[in-house]
């Protein structure tokens, strides 16, 4: 629940004290924006004194108050709402631009121009006199409809002269649903500029945090239980979260509401309908990992989720890889940590994005394994290995066959022995169309055999490997490089998989040699067609494989330009592979591929199973990720 924005007093009540158990941490606290603020930070390497930090923080909060506070009658916002001609300062302008973006993104459900509606329902800047007379009747509907005529961010323009211009003079702005998260981010910018590596900034119970707490761990933050009328933060904690490098906000309908004729009117107003929402979602906690606006976005999206209700809010959070959430509703909890807390690892930990959305592919799970010692506040940069069939990589307790690649164990041991470069592993789960996603799509254009062509095109398979690789290279990689401490260059970016995952890895190396510096193709399914069809379509398999070789002849990267690892076993499905792998090896050799850039191996007795791939995974890992 947000505190009201009111002017800062001239004398801020602050205290800067050492924070046990580390003497190099300091604490600042005081009153701001109608409530309190608390800041804990590690002393900056620049050696700037505490009084200077206090002065800078106080100045920032004071300037924000005189910019965007609706309760400060002298603020730029209040003057704008009164119809005065004002030139927005940097805070007003930036927050307006962000709010306009969010309005577009949410289809108008997050709308800071909804001030007149907030006032009408008693949750805005004005005294809600006469509120008890409101009913769900025609008179109320008439008032709401009249207010909606001047609600909408499209009624305000930011001119080239820097001024905000109203298309309707009745338009009002109210930044309550975003201002305190934004204030946290602005204070965080100051601390960042001073070189502070660890801090927690809380303004009115909105939080931005970075690095580690005084105990050397992630910041522990409590989520209040949504008990009606509760006004004291931390009095009834429902859940503790250990967080870092994020903004976090809880919005709820349990602290601020009206009861009229036995009906509860909550402060979450739907700015599209004009009415308070009525659903069973009691509180929405949103965690944003955006590096610049974590507090701002978590604040705004928490409000947005309260308007959506639990089902749509859960779908929204799941669709955003940069968000995590904790939704409490009447009768249950929806927890979306996306932190891999349920994935068992022997080394490092996994951060999970359960519904990574793409314009090219269906949403899918993405798992990011981070090694021991990884920290967003650290200086080290990491190679990145993208692996297909991501569900099978780390934890056998959740896989269909109770086997796993042991990718965390293998990479962890190799890093521990200094045998490979530090690496982040990104596991990408396949969708329901695994064969169609992993089959090299352009090979279809190389099939000359009519029967094979009919077989491949009449199967009903949707071939979308090209779309899958666009998703990997233009969406997922961009996200990973923006969120994690990676080395994004091609010579530090690799791709790997087995079976059909081996096919798509080799295809990726051919299609995107400027993105991937190497590929590992284990037990590559060179027969090309589905294994269940092989016995009845061996001739078609050979024709499609010949088309694949023709494709490779045209698209293989230049020898020596990248790394390629191939291998096979000779049991179960791998027993089919020797003649195919021999032909592929011959093609590579004829094109000038040789050691040390190319390695091909045979493992007698190995079958087409995760257990055997795990047993030899150290070989391709060492090959691709060798120390410089």
Note the pLDDT tens digit of each residue in 82-113: 999 999 999 999 999 999 999 999 999 999 99
Q: Given this model, what pLDDT does residue 572 score? A: 96
Is 73 within a domain? Answer: no
DSSP-derived letter for residue 44 is P
Pair 392, 330 in one domain: no
Do 331 and 357 lie in one domain? The reply is: no
How sure is the predictor about 549, in pLDDT bands with cuts at 50, 70 and 90? very high
CA distances to 45, 67, 453, 533, 578 from 584, rounded to whole Å, are 56, 67, 22, 22, 10
Q: What is the pLDDT of residue 263?
A: 57
In a shared domain, residues 509 and 614:
yes
Shared-domain flag, residues 423 and 294: no
320 and 359 together in one domain: no
Residues contacting 6, CB < 8 A, separation 6+: 33, 34, 69, 71, 72
Domain check: are 316 and 401 in the same one? no
**Burial of 390 (C-beta count, 10 Å sphere; 0-12/13-18/19+):** buried
Q: Which residues form the domain of 241?
A: 228-336
List, for residues 252-271, the tens digit of each pLDDT value.
865 555 555 555 555 688 99
Q: What mean pLDDT comes out for the span 508-529?
A: 97
pLDDT at 266: 56
Is 26 contained in some domain?
no
Checking if the pLDDT of 122 tops 80, the result is no
DSSP per-residue codes, 574-621: GGG-HHHHHHHHHHHHHTT--TTTEEEEE-TT--SSHHHHHHHTHHHH
Radius of gyration of the chain measured on its C-alpha atoms? 29
- Can you tell me the distance from the alpha carbon of 60 to that of 78, in angstroms, rounded to the nearest whole number? 19
In the predicted structure, residue 621 carries a pLDDT above the cut 60: yes
The pLDDT value recorded for residue 234 is 52
Tokens of 106: 């949410």
Residue 9 DSSP code: P
Each residue's pLDDT tens digit, 43-88 = 998 778 999 999 999 999 999 999 999 889 999 999 999 999 999 9
Q: How many CB atoms lie within 10 A of CB 7?
A: 17
- pLDDT exceeds cutoff 60 at 208: yes
pLDDT > 60? residue 523: yes
Tokens of 474: 């233009």
Q: What confidence score (pLDDT) does residue 191 get?
A: 97
User: What is the domain-level CATH number for residue 319?
Assistant: 3.10.520.10
CA distance 183 to 619: 50
Residue at a domain's end among 336, 360, 394: 336
At 223, list the tokens: 């989520």
Please give the pLDDT value at position 20: 39
**288 with 430, same domain?**
no
Q: 452-499 pLDDT, tens per residue? A: 999 999 988 999 999 999 999 999 999 999 989 999 999 999 999 999
What average pLDDT does the segment 179-195 reach?
97
pLDDT confidence of 131, banded at 50, 70, 90?
low
**Pairing relationship of beta strands 563-568 and 518-522 according to DSSP bridges:** parallel
pLDDT tens, residue by residue, 219-265: 999 998 876 444 455 557 888 888 999 999 999 865 555 555 555 55
Say what the pLDDT of residue 12 is.
Answer: 30
- Does 1 fall in a domain? no
Question: To the nearest whole number, what is the mean pLDDT of the chain?
Answer: 89
- Does residue 183 lie within any of the structural domains? no
Q: Measured between alpha carbons, how far is 196 from 535 in angstroms, rounded to an integer?
A: 64
Q: Is residue 162 part of a domain?
A: no
Same domain membership, residue 367 and residue 286: no
Shared domain for 261 and 354, answered yes or no, is no
Region 175-185 average pLDDT: 96
Confidence class of residue 138 from pLDDT cuts 50, 70 and 90? confident
- CA–CA dist 280, 271 (Å, integer): 19
**245/388 same-domain check:** no
Query: Is position 222 within any domain?
Result: no
**Distance between CA atoms of 611 and 235, rounded to whole angstroms?**
49
Among the candidates 294, 309, 336, a domain finishes at 336
Domain tally for the chain?
2
* Start-to-end Cα distance in the chain: 52
Domain contains 147: no
pLDDT band, very low/low/confident/very high, at 5 (cuts 50, 70, 90): very low
Q: Is residue 173 part of a domain?
A: no
Domain co-membership, 378 together with 513: yes
Tokens at residue 80, please? 């704008």
Q: What is the pTM of this model?
A: 0.64
Residue 396 has what DSSP assignment? G
Type and span of the H or E element at 290 = none
pLDDT of residue 224: 82
What percentage of the chain reaches a pLDDT higher than 70? 90
Same domain, 312 and 379: no
CATH number at residue 484: 3.40.50.1820
């Amino acid at each position: 629940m947000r505190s009201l924005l009111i002017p800062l007093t001239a004398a801020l009540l602050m205290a800067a004290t050492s924070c046990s158990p580390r003497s190099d941490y300091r604490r600042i606290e005081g009153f701001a924006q109608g409530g309190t603020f608390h800041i804990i930070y590690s002393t900056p390497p620049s050696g700037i004194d505490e009084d200077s930090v206090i002065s800078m923080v106080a100045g920032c909060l004071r300037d924000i108050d005189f910019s965007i506070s609706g309760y400060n009658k002298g603020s730029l916002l209040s003057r704008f709402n009164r119809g005065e001609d004002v030139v927005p300062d940097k805070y007003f302008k930036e927050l307006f631009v962000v709010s306009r973006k969010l309005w577009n993104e949410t289809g108008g459900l997050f709308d800071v121009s909804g001030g007149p509606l907030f006032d009408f329902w008693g949750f805005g800047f004005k005294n809600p006199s006469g509120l008890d007379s409101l009913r769900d009747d025609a008179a109320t509907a008439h008032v709401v409809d009249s207010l909606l005529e001047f609600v909408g961010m499209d009624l305000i323009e930011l001119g080239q002269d820097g001024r905000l211009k109203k298309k309707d003079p009745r338009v009002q702005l109210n930044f309550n649903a975003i201002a305190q998260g934004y204030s946290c981010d602005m204070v965080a910018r100051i601390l960042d500029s001073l070189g502070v590596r660890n801090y927690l900034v809380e303004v009115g119970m909105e939080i931005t945090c970075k690095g580690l707490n005084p105990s050397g761990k992630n910041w522990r933050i409590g989520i209040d239980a949504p008990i009606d009328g509760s006004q004291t933060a931390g009095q009834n904690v429902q859940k503790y979260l250990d967080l870092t490098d994020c903004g976090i906000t809880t919005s709820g309908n349990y602290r601020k509401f009206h009861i009229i004729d036995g009906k509860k009117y909550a402060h979450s107003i739907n700015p599209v309908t004009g009415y308070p929402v009525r659903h069973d979602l009691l509180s929405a906690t949103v965690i944003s990992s955006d590096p610049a606006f974590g507090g701002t976005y978590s604040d705004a999206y928490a409000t947005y989720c309260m308007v959506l209700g639990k089902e749509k809010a859960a779908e929204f959070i799941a669709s955003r890889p940069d968000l995590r959430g904790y939704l409490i509703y009447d009768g249950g909890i929806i927890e979306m940590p996306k932190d891999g807390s349920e994935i068992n690892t022997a080394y490092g930990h996994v951060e999970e994005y359960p519904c990574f959305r793409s314009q090219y592919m269906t949403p899918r799970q993405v798992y990011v394994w981070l090694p021991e010692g990884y920290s967003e506040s650290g200086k080290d940069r990491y190679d990145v290995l993208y692996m297909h069939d991501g569900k099978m990589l780390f934890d056998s307790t959740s896989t269909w066959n109770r086997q796993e690649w042991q990718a965390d164990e293998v990479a962890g041991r190799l890093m521990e022995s200094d045998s490979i470069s530090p690496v982040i592993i990104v596991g990408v789960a396949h969708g329901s169309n695994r064969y169609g996603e992993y089959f090299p799509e352009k090979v279809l254009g190389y099939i000359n055999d009519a029967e094979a062509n009919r077989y491949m095109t009449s199967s009903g398979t949707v071939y979308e490997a090209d779309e899958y690789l666009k998703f990997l290279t233009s969406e997922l990689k961009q996200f990973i490089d923006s969120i994690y401490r990676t080395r994004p260059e091609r010579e530090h970016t690799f791709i790997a998989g087995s079976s059909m995952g081996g096919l798509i890895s080799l295809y990726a190396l051919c299609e995107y040699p400027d993105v991937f510096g190497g590929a590992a193709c284990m037990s590559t399914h060179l027969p090309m067609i589905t294994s269940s069809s092989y016995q009845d379509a061996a001739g078609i398999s050979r024709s499609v494989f010949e088309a694949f070789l023709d494709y490779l002849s045209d698209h293989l990267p230049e020898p020596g330009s990248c790394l390629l690892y191939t291998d096979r076993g000779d049991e179960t499905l791998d027993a089919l592979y020797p003649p195919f792998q021999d032909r592929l090896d011959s093609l590579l050799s004829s094109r000038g591929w040789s050691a040390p850039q190319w390695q091909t191996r045979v493992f007698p007795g190995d079958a087409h199973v995760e257990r055997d791939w795990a047993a030899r995974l150290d070989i391709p890992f060492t090959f691709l990720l060798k120390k410089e």
